[in-house]
Amino acid sequence: MAAPFPSQGRAPWYIWLCVLAVTSSIVGIHWDISWHRSIGRDSFWTPAHMAIYLCGVLAGVICGFLILSSTFNKTSPLRESSVTMWGFRGPLGAFIAAWGGIAMLVSAPFDNWWHAAYGLDVRVISPPHVLLFMGNGAIEIGAIILILGQMNRATGALRSTLSWMFLYGGAVLVLGFGIFIVSYSFPNQMHSAMFYRVACTSLPFALVGIGQASQQPWASTKVAAIYMAFCMAAIWILPLFPAEPRLGPVYQKVTHFIPAPFPILLIVPAFFLDLLRDKPAGRNSWLQAAIAGSIFLLSLLAVQWPFSSFLLSPAARNWFFGSHYFDYSTRPAGALARFQFFDMDKGDFWFNLTLALFFAILTTRLGMAWGESMRRVRR
């Protein structure tokens, strides 16, 4: 068995394939959400589903090969940078991603059974979907760790290439978090503190962790820019293709694929996170997290609150912002279809905003710890 060892001048083939795997997954998930909103769940064997599960297959095969090669090929150069688990050897990221691939493939028949038992179109957050997201998240983190294992040992042009791949992997992770909270991320929900509470439970963790581990200047801003570029491209591309509902009831006329709502303006809080990263150096880590988390929430509020008002205005009902796209199940009398804000707080605005601040500080601190640990990854 040939040793899967990279040359000194370019990124290893298995890292490129892992990047392809997570790209296939994130494209497939966005496509699948659009499929559900435009057509409904008409079959398990849709192209969007196949793109999602291709990620699990690729990750499982690639990482399985890396583990078996490192275990049984005594001359494999990867053995020197491997960990041992259950008698097998391999890069740490390969073990994480391999588990994710298994979880994703197990979620496929589970999801099919769930829809057959409880309905064709159910909520985004269901047990099989949670298992799918967990598996996909493990693959994304495994790919990031695989990249780090090489990046933290590389120099020169190779390190630069791997550093950009690492930022891309971080952006895919942010995209995954964004999909998980998409039910709370429509423009008419952004005058409710619940949206900010949900956003702060995950997004600072990824932005801070990736930014801290990268050591690139403006790393969090670059991650947020990739996240926004991907989401905006989906808004512009998906409606170019025809689609019509195959399930009922149909409340809106749909003739083309309906994209997800306009992305959260994460580039603004990411900019401030980068600006603050080295300013309070030497201070207590929790104090740093309190400052950065507070700035994340305040800057997100400052930009997203007025921008959501704009998204509900006639000026945003065009191909660029996509505020006029409604899925076939959107009721005409609902707040979204009438471009009105919907109160998710039910009188608990300040309570939810306080929790948003708490989660922003907590996830920022966890992201800092994760970022510091990733700087030490060599295997």
Q: What is the DSSP string of 248-266?
A: S---S---BPPPPPPPP-T
Q: Among 51-60, 76-85, 133-142, 355-364, whose mean pLDDT is lowest?
A: 76-85
pLDDT, position 1: 38
List pLDDT tens digits, range 27-56: 999 998 899 889 887 677 889 889 988 988
Can you tell me the distance from the alpha carbon of 295 to that of 239, in angstroms, rounded to the nearest whole number? Answer: 36
Can you tell me the distance from the alpha carbon of 84 to that of 304, in angstroms, rounded to the nearest whole number? Answer: 46
pLDDT, position 119: 62
pLDDT, position 365: 95
Q: Among 12-16, 119-123, 212-216, 288-292, whose mean pLDDT is lowest?
A: 119-123
Q: How confident is the model at residue 7 (pLDDT cuts 50, 70, 90)?
A: very low
Can you tell me the distance from the alpha carbon of 269 to that of 76, in angstroms, rounded to the nearest whole number? Answer: 44
Q: How confident is the model at residue 280 (pLDDT cuts 50, 70, 90)?
A: low
The helix (H) or strand (E) run that includes residue 141 is: helix 127-151
The helix (H) or strand (E) run that includes residue 288 is: helix 285-311
- Give the start-to-end residue ranges of the domains of the chain: 9-180, 184-379
pLDDT, position 151: 86
When pLDDT is averaged across residues 115-141 and rounded to a whole number, the result is 73
pLDDT, position 291: 93
Q: CA end-to-end span of the chain, whole Å? A: 21
pTM passes above 0.85: yes
List pLDDT tens digits, range 212-259: 888 789 999 999 999 999 999 999 999 999 999 887 789 999 999 999
pLDDT, position 256: 93
Max mean pLDDT among 102-111, 237-246, 282-291, 297-306 falls in 297-306
List pLDDT tens digits, range 145-198: 889 888 887 778 888 889 999 999 999 999 999 988 998 999 999 999 999 999
pLDDT, position 125: 64
